[in-house]
Amino acid sequence: MANLMYDSMGGVKRILEIVKTLSRYNLGEGLTPDRFCEMLKELGPTYVKIGQLLSMHPEIVPPEYCKKLESLRTSATHLVTVQIKEIISEEYGRPWNTVFSRIMPIPLGSASIAQVHEAYLPDGTRVAVKVQRPDIYDTMERDIKLLKSALGIVKLKKINDVMDLGDTLDEMWQVAQQEMDFLREAENIRRLRKNIEGIKYVYCPKVFDELTTKNILVMEYIGGCELNDTEALLRDGYDVSEVCTKFINNYIKQFAEDHFFHADPHPGNIHVENGRIVWLDLGMMGTLTEDGAELIKVCMRAIVTNDHISFADAVMRICETPENIDRDGFYASMRAYLDKYRIITMEEMSSTVDIFSDLYQISLRYGIRTPRSMTMFWRSISIMEGTVSQLAPETDLSTIIGRHLAAQSMVGGIAGSITKKVSHRRLVSGEALSYNDSPRPVEDEVPIEEE
């Protein structure tokens, strides 16, 4: 235990807090999903972040735990307004009310790393202020060190011989550090805004650069409703099917064309306002290399065409594959896998993450290891599918993906050329979402220019 004891009393105190909390939950008797989440929240931000990460690993954690752990994405203790004002004053080096005329007391959102408040600038401009929790960086860094040391003592390195806990903690800490740098998030916002220029049905709030620091992010205020608030969408006159289709189109564009995509596209991070789908919370973004993006598109095309050979080959190229792999067996498993999900609609699936959990388990069975660079992509697609299944379970995701692939010249001949022109216009310059009984644009009737 000696190597766990840090020189500072703060480290010793933290260890005692962790031990006391764990003892109250009687880990030896097992934990229900509810109690597991409660324990993580009580342990603090670092452990909440671990729970968030685990919720995206259905290949490790049982589905019922994954589902419950998802609640940690929006579950956090609120900082009171006095604390928020103190943090702002300290960060800017001047009283908060010289920067903002008013800060609303009820947060728009509260997470393990930061809290967001509606506020007003002196000129009356309405903004959203994202404020980092005090001492969160030092607390998380310390807790990561404690956990890694503890893993060494108990000689617990892997779960189910799959997840390397040391690597998982390293990955979590790397992601957390990126999320805690709001200057980086501001750059992510600028990059996404550039990528969606000309797309009338998509938006991303602008950043007030002169007020943004590493610990405070000031953005344009976004209202509207969350993407999956069907009641609000219908009340405002939106066509839910149109909203869902355009959301999918833009998300596919992000990773297939831009190679820069939102890594956590759950409904809380996506609003619909003024005829636009608005992307929020860009602290965690994914990137793909040209080769990685191309291989993923090959996989997507194989799913659409039910081509298990191409699909299996693409998976083996993307991932780390043993030389002595049983190729015939793997091809057969991929055929059974595609057949299973070809005949099941999203509404019939017990869980949208099953698709990737099954793929992971099949690959693992044949000794195929998914590279860490692809993990964020697979997780984000799983989250996106979950969002779509909530919004419009009847959505034919395969058809939408197929149209997008056609728009990228992945089909040939005259039909491919025509589809490319129609789809590209919809994706890049399509009209804003119809709402409040406004007339719907008839995009299909726009003439198609000859090659």
**Catalytic annotation, residues:** 264
Residue 35: Cβ-neighbour burial (10 angstroms; 0-12, 13-18, 19+): middle
Distance of CA 191 to the CA centre of its chain: 17
- β-pairing verdict for 202-203 and 276-279: parallel
**434: which 2 tokens?**
């119809």
Q: Are 50 and 179 in contact (CB under 8 A)?
A: no
Helices (H), 196-320: 230-235, 240-253, 290-305, 308-318
**226: which 2 tokens?**
């969350």
List beta partners, residue 131: 115, 216
Q: Is 111 helix (H, G, I), strand (E, B) or coil?
A: coil
How distant, in Å, are the alpha carbons of 64, 199, 336, 383, 404 from that of 194? 39, 10, 41, 24, 20
DSSP annotation of 220 reads E
